Amino acid sequence: MTDAESALNLKSDESDVAAFLEERGGKLIPDESDNGMYWLLLRPSSDQSQEYVACVRWDRYPQRPPSIKFADAIKGSLANARAWPSIPGYRPGSFDICMPFTAEGFALHAEWNSGPQSWRTSGNPFLWVASRLQDDLNSVRYSGRVA
């Protein structure tokens, strides 16, 4: 569970995220048991039959980046490598995304805490994270589901 202020900030920003995902064939599903957890259904533009379920968990919003894992279903296992898309920086063997928009990435790279890759709290960081995930699925770097 996240703190009350973070929960209010997330609630304020989630409608923009939901609209963004729906426009791209996806969906935002808040987790009713944890006010800082969301399930994002994402589809790559190159193959709309593929669906990925990202579990996005915020501890402090918008002050810190979220933890992001891929699940085999909504509320499913977060320890299934086949749930992950094959994209450089997305590490299904470690069950993390080593990029400067995740808690896991910032934990591994202290140098990202300052400079151009530092976490930004302005605007709608939740929408920015959702758009990064969608952009990565739509990019030429995406090569399908992990085998």
Residue pair 106/119 in contact by the 8 Å Cβ criterion:
yes
Q: 23: how many CB neighbours lie within 10 A of its CB?
A: 9
| Euclidean distance between CA atoms 106 and 7, whole angstroms | 22
In sequence order, what E strands does the chain have?
27-30, 37-42, 52-57, 67-71, 90-91, 96-97
What is d(CA 20, CA 131) in angstroms, rounded to the nearest whole number?
Answer: 8
DSSP 8-state secondary structure symbol assigned to residue 56: E
Length of the chain: 147
pLDDT of residue 99: 96
Average pLDDT of adjacent 10-residue blocks, the chain of 147 residues: 94 98 98 96 96 98 98 97 98 97 96 93 97 98 94
- In the chain, where the domains are located: 4-138
In this predicted structure, what is the pLDDT of residue 1? 81
AA letter at 136: D
The pLDDT assigned to 147 comes to: 83
- Going by C-alpha positions, the residue among 138, 42, 143, 51 that lies closest to residue 88 is 143
Q: Which CATH class is domain 4-138?
A: alpha beta
Q: What is the pLDDT of residue 22?
A: 98
Residue (of 144, 129, 6) closest to 67 by Cα position? 129
